[in-house]
Amino acid sequence: MKLDFIKTFGGKIIFCLAACAGLTVGVVLAVAWMVGSVERYLRDSGYRSVLLGPDGLRPEAKIFFLAVAAVLTFSVSFYLMLRESIRYIHLLADKVRDISEGDLDHPVEVRGSDEFAAMAADLNAMQKNVKRLMEKERIAEHTKNDLVSSVAHDLRTPLTSIIGYLGWVRTRKDLDAATREKYLEIAYSKALRLEQLTNELFGFVKLEHNEMTLRLGKLDLIQLMEQMLDEMTPSFVQNDLTVKFRHEKETMLIEADGDLLARLFANLLNNAVKYGKEGKQIRVEVEQSGFYAVTKVINYGHVIPRNEQEAIFRKFYRAEQSRSRDTGGTGLGLAIAEQIVELHHGEIRVKSDLQGTVFEVELPMRQGEKEEIS
């Protein structure tokens, strides 16, 4: 019997008890009438037995028959009325066991609107959450493996070179001073690369675990970008790149952490050099848009496929075309850039097509007081 019109299981129990009690009373009265009719018929026909005497059935026999009828009627009717709920409880118990055994792909049917229906909905939600957490754990495990593989490769390459060059210089006693100096300089440059990779990894860990705090101060974004471009001039020259810097204002004061912004734009410029060298040009543009300072770093190298543009800021992600020793790194540069921007309550976007690849950084001019900026 469907009792979905009753909203709680307690209400169903009360309804069933009342209905079964009424049915039982009716059945007991019917049985009493039938027993009385049979009793009168047997007595009038002269039948006598241990139970049936000249005055009719013994009282205890009548009570026994009526009690049996009452118990059977109440029990059977109560079971039949709650049979669907009992089956549903068993279904929920089976689903809990299935979840405990790892079956997270089959949701349980939600029936009615009582507590067990709510339990079924909660089980389905829990199943989804557990499945999502397991998927996140799987991705985290995959990411950890990527980290180990990436760090092992990226740190081993310069370390192997350092050991090789220093070992060769150490064993060759006949080297002249110029040759010795040349190979020591190579080993030193490899050691600097190793230090850069290590600092990048430690910096990312600090940002990832919110251990990095902003040291806010007033800084001139135009001056910062000019300084960054000057420092990277040797890299531009080495890769035969020309740089154009366009800015609307001579100065643009913003409230930010200068060291973190320097790391942010260094990562974007290094990225532009790595993947934009074929385009022969890098453009940097700074402008103000309302309460925000907008900086664009544009290169004209490889086009980033649309399906990779959403994933390019993911940690340890590298576009397929960049999986080479020439452009290799930890795959953390853009992830660190995104974290620094988020730490400043800004936004970073990328757009890539045949017109160029644009990394756009939008930073509030003043932290926490954007509504007061005119």
- How confident is the model over 9-58, as pLDDT tens digits? 778 888 888 988 999 999 889 988 887 787 777 777 766 665 666 666 67
More confident residue, 197 or 75: 75
Residue 324 zone, left/alpha/beta (φ > 0; ψ -120 to 50; rest)? beta
How large is the average pLDDT for residues 292-309?
A: 82
Please tell me the predicted confidence (pLDDT) of residue 277. Answer: 76
Position 127 confidence tier, pLDDT thresholds 50, 70, 90: confident
Percent of the chain with pLDDT over 70: 78
- pLDDT higher than threshold 60 for residue 203: yes
Mean pLDDT of 227-249: 85
Residue 239 has pLDDT above 70, yes or no: yes
Distance (Å, rounded) from C-alpha 323 to C-alpha 301?
16
pLDDT at 15: 85
The mean predicted confidence, pLDDT, of the chain is 78
Given its phi and psi angles, is residue 102 left (phi above 0), alpha (psi -120 to 50 degrees) or beta? left
**Of 18-27, 31-40, 190-199, 213-222, which range is least confident?**
190-199
Residue 314 has pLDDT above 70, yes or no: no
Average pLDDT over residues 135-160: 71
Q: What is the dihedral of CA 197, 260, 212, 216, to 10 degrees?
A: 160
